Amino acid sequence: MATIKLVKMNEKEYMQFRSRSISDYAADKVEAGTWSTAEAALRSEEEFNQALPDGLETKDAFIFTIQDQTENITVGYVWFNLMERNGSRFAFIMDILIFEEYQGRGYGKETMAAIDDEVRKLGLKQISLHVFGHNERAFRLYQKMGYEVTDIQMTKKL
């Protein structure tokens, strides 16, 4: 099994991540039926800019590349923000991606464990995330890693 490490992104990596994250999120929102194709790109960029107003320097934002230390390659990225609800601080995974060519090799599981470690270092005891209903692979991984369903929204198309 490879040894992964979460490495803080540099500006060049951030610009690539930003572009892909905005595009992927827009596509997911369209596939989920939440946004129309015509509005998706603009709305995705607006939400991204709200969540990361100062890019890499945004307070309480943690953006990493996922590095396979054994192979010396980047296999994906992860972004989580620190948030507060009802007086409790927690981490919320905003975006996580294992590049397609590296999926199915255990990187997702290792990355989730590495996120746990990063969040513990920050003194927090909870991590939350959102998963799109059409992303069954991610949903199964999150369940295996101990995440519990806290809310389900469903739609029926007629």
Instruction: Please name the residue that has the structure tokens 């927090």.
Output: 124
Instruction: Please name the residue that has the structure tokens 């607006």.
Output: 46
More confident residue, 9 or 134: 9
Q: From 28, 8, 15, select the one nearest 138 (Cα to Cα).
A: 28
Angle (nearest 5°) at CA 77 between 128 and 68 = 115
| Domains of the chain with bracketed CATH | 4-144 (3.40.630.30)
**pLDDT per position as a tens digit, 32-73:** 999 999 999 999 999 999 999 999 999 999 999 999 999 999
pLDDT at 100 over 90: yes
Task: Provide mean pLDDT across the span 90-114.
Answer: 94
Dist. CA 18–CA 146, nearest whole Å: 28
Q: Is residue 132 within 8 Å of 33, Cβ to Cβ?
A: no
Task: Provide mean pLDDT across the span 127-145.
Answer: 81
Q: From 121, 114, 118, 119, select the one nearest 98 (Cα to Cα).
A: 114
Question: What is residue 2's predicted lDDT score, i.e. its pLDDT?
Answer: 63
Structure tokens at 56: 């890499």
